[in-house]
Amino acid sequence: MTSSQGVYEVRTRKDHRGVDLISDALPFGRLWYDGPNAASNAIGYVSQYSRSHNAVIRVYDEAGNVIETHEHAGDFKQSSSPFTCAKRPRSLSRSGGDYDVRRPCRPT
C-alpha cells in the first residue's frame, strides 16, 4: 500500500441495519448505508470519492471475515474543459488571478 492509497472497509452493522463504510480517508471516519443495496452503494461511493488516488475496498461478513476485495485505480488525471480563457500577466489582473476578467472563457 502506498501513501496515496486509501483502505476502506464495508462492515455489517451490529444492529443489522445496513453497513458502515469505515476509513481514515473519510471526513468523519465512517458512513452508514441502509437498504437492499447498501454494500454496493458504499463501494460506488468509494469509487467516486477516490477518483484521484488508488483505493482498496474490503467487504466483511458478520463474523469479520473478508468476503470481497475491490481495487480501484485512481483514473482522474486532469479536468478537460471545452473552454479556453484569455490569460494575461498577473500584475495586470484586477482580481489578482491569472485570467482576464474582461475577456471571459469561450467555447473552443
Can you give the pTM of this predicted structure? 0.62
Mean pLDDT of the chain: 75
Domain ranges, ordered by start, for the chain: 5-72, 78-108
The one-character DSSP state at 87 is B
Please tell me which residue, 98 or 71, carries the higher pLDDT value. Answer: 71
How confident is the model over 55-68, as a mean pLDDT?
92
Which percentage of the chain shows pLDDT scores above 70?
62
Which of these ranges, 23-32, 34-43, 48-57, 61-70, has the smallest mean pLDDT? 48-57
Q: Are 12 and 60 in contact (CB under 8 A)?
A: yes
Closest to 105 in 3D by CA, of 88, 87, 83, 90: 83
Distance, CA of 8 to CA of 25 (rounded, Å) = 8
